[in-house]
Amino acid sequence: MNFPKTIRRAGLVIAPLALVAFLVGCRQEGTTVTPVVSKDGEETIHLSDTETATILWERGRPVALKKTNGERIPFQQREAALEKRIVLAMPDGSIEVHRRPDVVNEDLDGLHHLYLKEASLAEVITDGGKGEPYIDPSDGAFCWTARTCTNPDCPSQTMGQGDRPYLFINRLPGVKKLSADRVDFTGVPAAALEAPPKCPVCGNSEYVEVYELPDVGERRQQLAKELGTVRSARDRARE
């Protein structure tokens, strides 16, 4: 069928507009953002629910990320590193935004750690492990990491209190306090430094584990999964 030239020319205009509308409808919300503009120009992306940035493309390659304050961050191996996030330009043109691995590791290092005071076995919770012994700044007491025995035949399995299993410490003899945050291990026998912690109830060392607070284990798994996701995304971006 032969259409008038004016209609056929109009069709040449309508087709690209329809394509743009289709691509706009394909935008994905969340971490991955499907580009809706040419890969030779500017593309606005969401870094978070409230923060946006612009990617500068040249011939299908990401050149730089421009923040709203005008700062330009170059892409290296399809990755632009922000203060707390990384922006990855995938080979298929999609964009992924993730937290930086070092930021996730900071969260891992800051997970709550449970200590017990040397004399009273009172609990002391810190943001992250502080080494052993940790000196409680409130009273200068030595604090040691809380441990538990998972030996199913150990009598300690029925010695827990409240929501805690039976907890104990692995105190090293001969440790001296030099200052509010420094200790001296020179007086500790070598055998004590090398020996694995033993359960004071059953005498077994094979089943002794550092005790983690209930919410810490779940959070640790979440952060480990997040790290795996970031590593996988980086590998895919560099394919």
Give per-residue pLDDT as tens, 141-192: 999 999 999 999 999 999 999 999 999 999 999 999 999 889 999 999 999 9
Distance CA 204, CA 166 (A): 14
Selection from 110, 106, 96 nearest residue 35 by Cα: 96
CA atoms in the 13 A half-sphere facing the CB of 200: 9
165-to-41, 121, 159, 201, 221 alpha-carbon distances in Å: 60, 14, 7, 13, 21
Domain boundaries, the chain: 25-109, 114-213
Q: What is the pLDDT of residues 29-69, one digit of tens each?
A: 345 444 444 578 899 999 988 999 999 999 889 999 999 99
**Each residue of 201-230: pLDDT tens digit?**
999 999 999 999 999 999 999 999 999 999
Paired residues of 52 in beta bridges: 46
89, 78 Cβ separation under 8 angstroms: yes
| Phi (first) and psi of residue 203, to 5 degrees | 75, 10
